[in-house]
Chains A and B, each alone.
Chain A
Amino acid sequence: MSVSNTTSSTDSVHNDGAGTTPSGLGRRHFLGYVVGGTTLIAAAEFATPQRASAVIPSAPQIPELYDLEDLQTDAALPTSAMISVTINSDGTASFAIPRAEVGQGITTSTAMILAEELDLPVSKVKVSLAPARPELMFNQLTGGSNTTVSTYTPIRVAAAIARNALLDAAAIELGYAVARLRTFEGLIEAPDGSTITYGELATKAASSSTKQVEVALKATSEHKVVGKPHNRDDALAAVTGQKQFSMDLDIPGALPTMICRAPTLNGTPKRLKNRKKIKRMPGVTHVVKVPTGIAVRARTFGQCIDAIREMEVVWKDGSAEGESDQTILAGLRRAELPMVVPSVPILAQQVDADFTFAFRSSAALEPNCAIADVREDSAEIWAGLKVPILAQQNIAQALGMNQDQVKVNVITSGGSFGHKLFSDAAIEAAQVSKKMKKPVRLMWHRADEPRQGRLHPMCTSRIRATMLAGEVLSFEQRNTSVVTDFSHGLGEIITSTIDEAPTEVGRALGGFGFSQTIFALTQELPYNFGAVTQLLNETDDRFNTGSMRNIYSPDTAVASELVIDMMAKKMKMDPLEFRLKFIKDDRTRACLEKVAEEGNWGRKMPAHRAQGIAVHKEYKGATAVLVEIDTRPSTVNRQRFNAVTGPRVTKVVMAVDAGLVINPRGLEAQMQGGFMDGMALTLTSSCHLRNGKFLEASWDNYYYPRQWNVPTSIDVHIMDPGVDQPGGAGEAGVPASAAAVACAYARATGEVPTYFPINHADISFKPKTFVPPVPKSPTNGLKFTY
């Protein structure tokens, strides 16, 4: 099975979407397999064909030639592993996707893609999450909004092969040539009206041996399912409480387990002074020391919390003792890269700006958690994991086992936002289970998440733009950031794949580290601003960091779009007019024009209220966002119990070009959610470092938007760029949203904010105790019934 899934036709239509393939003509052909077995299994190599190379006339930035999507997609090329679709005798098709469902809707969109190519109702396609499959090597990472980009073609190839095999079997059964048969709704119909179901054909179409076959895919113009709104496949389970997350699984003997963590960031345990007392507490079964703290296993999580609160632990110092926001920021300042253009150019106008972005928590509502059952010679893990192969390797290493002794099950997650790229809780659970010699259901307390969990790093973004005689001569952006941890596998992907990139890209990236490479692969300023440079420098690797629904783009976009408003003001132009003059890409321009029109840009706003507009180009697509914000004192100073109120965004209009759209309803949901994240980054969400400790320990401290913050109106317009390939969606809504809110705030208040989120200077809560590290559960809940 070494032949790859290559393009074999003379099709002239570029894969990255120059137009629609006319039905039946010049269609691409792909190779795949009918796999030997007792029921029909069709397979395709999990790789997508080579892209046609783009031609860009003038000094392109790297992502125009080759972006993070391309890199992740190319990472699939050398793998020889298969993905397969099985047709079952009950008429259903099943497929285990080697990606993680974390709420973004990929099981639904994948079922739609399969249903389309199979001519089967979507409800009859069952998509599950594949466990860790080491043979897939790098190709089992869910991130970078890449799932649909990388899986769209191979999944269709496997489905099309299955459909053809069903047709071959039906031809024998019905006595007509394949060309005279019709497939629809899981049935095959002959000209005489006789039909046979896929279920009846499943075993008849099975092959005794594996054979290679060639197949053509449906043209986009023939699609009946793809591109139409579809509800999520797990909607009923979600609203009835039947959807199972890791902590809901019934794994025998896996009792609740929690960890008492250090008061300071990354502190480690020396010893537990009152072990005997803790062991005797109600419900407690086991107490052990692990590298990250003291683990306790009990009959209920509540009894774990009680035990943690009684523990007297001697701790070793953490990784940032004595440090605070100010000292970390001072370190960033020392690492800042210089600008090239001098600060006082002759004749030209200049905008110099400098922004700071605080630490932010990527924690989902489902906290870090995992079930582990470690035995003498094997281990099994259940967790929401976006990089399960690496989790398997890390767990095996932590346990002193071989990788093949560790089975890693991927469970649907209660959100990710970058958090589940890492397997922190799964590794801990394995260590605890090994030491206790018992299965454990390990969960982090909410307080552990902002205090010891993964954060988006603090960074600064400085911009210098130079204008002369109505033109922009230069635009320099320098980001300086606390180190982002890419040890979840993207780093390995880059090392092994960057050689596949076009030569000029490889040359440009030569000598870059992982982070600079990713920065260069993702950042693209879609404006004709003369000499554009965007660079990243990193310093300080003492923090637990990671991506957070995108890596660099929200901060970069907030800084650049605010500066664009400042440039427009200097050149006495309207922000929209200025953007339309300089925007260099038609798809981004179309999004911008759409929101300006739908959002009635430029309408007169009362005092303390304003519109803001911004764009972002990434993920093989573009977004534009227009918002209206209310910063009247009566709004900003609204009083609510334990709440952050502040300015309120009252209206949102978004336009998204995500290439070929699989499920518009899912895409709309991703944009709405992405907006909330963007608004949170600009207005409310951050973590405060004081004396080696992050203060936040609750959702009333770490301030993700609540209903009283959210806009009452969000309109999402989905653009049709007329391309045949999907772009990314999961992260696409965030950057332009964060930027549009920042621009609107600056226009409403007349002051450009320089520290984000804008409320970071105010600490609106009393920090919870650090010893004990988790708060007591209240007992007065019956006083608050409604």
Chain B
Amino acid sequence: MPKQTFILNGKPVTVNVNDDVRVLWVLRDLLGVTGPKYGCGINVCKACTSHINGKAFNPCSVKVGDLKKKDEVTTIEGLPDTVGEELHPMQQAWINRDVAQCGYCQPGQIMAAVATVKKVRREGRTLRESDLDDIRNICRCGTYARIREAVEEGARNMP
């Protein structure tokens, strides 16, 4: 069985599994990293949103064989380390606004929020309502209003 190697939350990992298994299942079923959630498996609900080399992606829709050795995958578990803190400012904003209800979608929401803020900054501008409208992640508890508030608060405090 092929060996798959990539960097997960700052550390190199190697897993024996076929190339075509999607990264979500490698994370959840083989490596026990359960922050990214399954909600559809077809890149629609975005509950598994994580980062690859600092950008948002959905591991349910990427074959593990397509990851390169140097690719850095960051899940919600590794997000605080990216800023060298106990909690990322976006996670702290989520706590301050008491956003989560059931909490199932929230790891993906936070990862999407961080990537959205970074994207906006790369474009040299500040967050707009339309950027918040663009976030596709579903929250079936309907926490959308507090998510919007938290993204704005997190954006203000991100380094």
A246 to B51, CA, bound (A): 24
Interchain CB contact under 8 A, A785 and B55: yes
- Listed from nearest, the 7 A-B pairs whose CB atoms lie closest are A241-B35, A103-B102, A676-B142, A414-B104, A781-B61, A238-B103, A673-B142
Interchain CB contact under 8 A, A707 and B133: yes
B5-33 to A contact mask, C-beta < 8 Å, 1/0: 00000000000011011111110111010
A674-685 to B contact mask, C-beta < 8 Å, 1/0: 111100000000
**Which residue of chain A has the shortest Cβ distance to B55 in the bound complex?**
A785
Cβ distance A304 to chain B, nearest Cβ, rounded Å: 9
A237 to B58, CA, bound (A): 22
Which residues from B are CB-within-8-Å of A300? 17, 21, 25-26, 29-30
A64 to B133, CA, bound (A): 43
A230-244 to B contact mask, C-beta < 8 Å, 1/0: 011011111111111
Q: State whether A236 and B40 are in contact (beta carbons under 8 Å apart), knowing that A241-B107, A300-B26 are contacts in the complex.
A: no
Q: Which of B103-159 contact A (CB under 8 A)?
A: 103-107, 110, 115-116, 119, 129, 132-148
Q: Which of B49-106 contact A (CB under 8 A)?
A: 52, 55-63, 66, 75-77, 80, 87, 91, 94-95, 98-106
Which residues from B are CB-within-8-Å of A704? 138, 140
A232 to B106, CA, bound (A): 14
24 CB-based A-B contacts, threshold 8 Å: A239-B95, A239-B103, A245-B37, A256-B25, A283-B18, A365-B139, A365-B140, A446-B44, A642-B44, A672-B142, A672-B145, A676-B142, A700-B44, A705-B142, A707-B132, A707-B137, A708-B133, A710-B145, A778-B43, A779-B22, A779-B62, A781-B43, A784-B58, A786-B116
Which residues from B are CB-within-8-Å of A283? 18, 21
Q: Indicate whether A706 reaches chain B with its CB closer than 8 angstroms.
A: yes
Candidates B38, B60, B105, B137; contact of A247 at CB < 8 Å: B38
**Which residue of chain A has the shortest Cβ distance to B77 in the bound complex?**
A241
Q: Indicate whether A577 reaches chain B with its CB closer than 8 angstroms.
A: no
Interchain CB contact under 8 A, A672 and B57: no
A780 to B136, CA, bound (A): 17
A249 to B106, CA, bound (A): 18
Which residues from B are CB-within-8-Å of A248? 34
A784 to B49, CA, bound (A): 11
A779 to B41, CA, bound (A): 11
A775 to B26, CA, bound (A): 19
Interchain CB contact under 8 A, A282 and B18: yes
Count of A-B contacts judged by CB separation below 8 Å: 225
A359-380 to B contact mask, C-beta < 8 Å, 1/0: 0000111110000000000000
A696-730 to B contact mask, C-beta < 8 Å, 1/0: 00111000111110111010000000000000000
Interchain CB contact under 8 A, A669 and B98: yes
Binding site for B on A (CB under 8 A): 102-105, 231-232, 234-245, 247-248, 250, 256, 282-283, 299-303, 305-306, 363-367, 412-415, 417, 443, 445-446, 642, 665, 669, 672-677, 698-700, 704-708, 710-712, 714, 774-775, 777-782, 784-786
A665 to B100, CA, bound (A): 12
Q: State whether A243 and B103 are in contact (beta carbons under 8 Å apart), knowing that A302-B24, A673-B141 are contacts in the complex.
A: yes
**Which residue of chain B has the shortest Cβ distance to A676 in the bound complex?**
B142
Q: State whether A232 and B145 are in contact (beta carbons under 8 Å apart), knowing that A446-B45, A784-B57 are contacts in the complex.
A: no
Interchain CB contact under 8 A, B41 and A446: yes
A643 to B43, CA, bound (A): 14
Interchain CB contact under 8 A, A231 and B95: yes
Cβ distance B88 to chain A, nearest Cβ, rounded Å: 9
Which residues from A are CB-within-8-Å of B29? 256, 299-302
Interchain CB contact under 8 A, B44 and A699: yes
**Which residue of chain A has the shortest Cβ distance to B39 in the bound complex?**
A365
Candidates B41, B55, B66; contact of A305 at CB < 8 Å: B41
A299 to B31, CA, bound (A): 12
Interchain CB contact under 8 A, B107 and A777: no
A443 to B36, CA, bound (A): 16
**Which residue of chain B has the shortest Cβ distance to A708 in the bound complex?**
B133
A321 to B60, CA, bound (A): 33
Interchain CB contact under 8 A, A707 and B135: yes
A586 to B9, CA, bound (A): 57
Candidates B18, B25, B56; contact of A301 at CB < 8 Å: B25
A506 to B112, CA, bound (A): 54
Which residues from A are CB-within-8-Å of B36? 241
**Which residue of chain B has the shortest Cβ distance to A643 in the bound complex?**
B136
Candidates A282, A675, A782; contact of B52 at CB < 8 Å: A782
Interchain CB contact under 8 A, A445 and B98: no
Cβ distance A231 to chain B, nearest Cβ, rounded Å: 4
Q: State whether A786 and B119 are in contact (beta carbons under 8 Å apart), knowing that A445-B41, A672-B143, A699-B45 are contacts in the complex.
A: yes
A250 to B32, CA, bound (A): 8
**Which residue of chain B has the shortest Cβ distance to A364 in the bound complex?**
B140
Cβ distance B2 to chain A, nearest Cβ, rounded Å: 11
**Which residue of chain A has the shortest Cβ distance to B60 in the bound complex?**
A777
**Which residue of chain A has the shortest Cβ distance to B136 in the bound complex?**
A706
Candidates B26, B129, B141; contact of A415 at CB < 8 Å: B141
**Which residue of chain B has the shortest Cβ distance to A677 in the bound complex?**
B142
Cβ distance B86 to chain A, nearest Cβ, rounded Å: 9
Cβ distance A278 to chain B, nearest Cβ, rounded Å: 16
Interchain CB contact under 8 A, B98 and A235: yes
**Which residue of chain B has the shortest Cβ distance to A714 in the bound complex?**
B145
Candidates B30, B62, B134; contact of A299 at CB < 8 Å: B30
Which residues from A are CB-within-8-Å of B129? 712
Cβ distance A106 to chain B, nearest Cβ, rounded Å: 11
Which residues from B are CB-within-8-Å of A247? 28, 34, 38
Which residues from B are CB-within-8-Å of A367? 38-39
Which residues from A are CB-within-8-Å of B99? 239
A778 to B59, CA, bound (A): 10
Interchain CB contact under 8 A, A103 and B39: no
Cβ distance B17 to chain A, nearest Cβ, rounded Å: 7
Which residues from A are CB-within-8-Å of B63? 779
Q: State whether A675 and B142 are in contact (beta carbons under 8 Å apart), knowing that A414-B37, A415-B104 are contacts in the complex.
A: yes
Interchain CB contact under 8 A, A302 and B21: yes
Cβ distance A774 to chain B, nearest Cβ, rounded Å: 8
Interchain CB contact under 8 A, B40 and A785: no
A706 to B35, CA, bound (A): 22
A406 to B42, CA, bound (A): 35
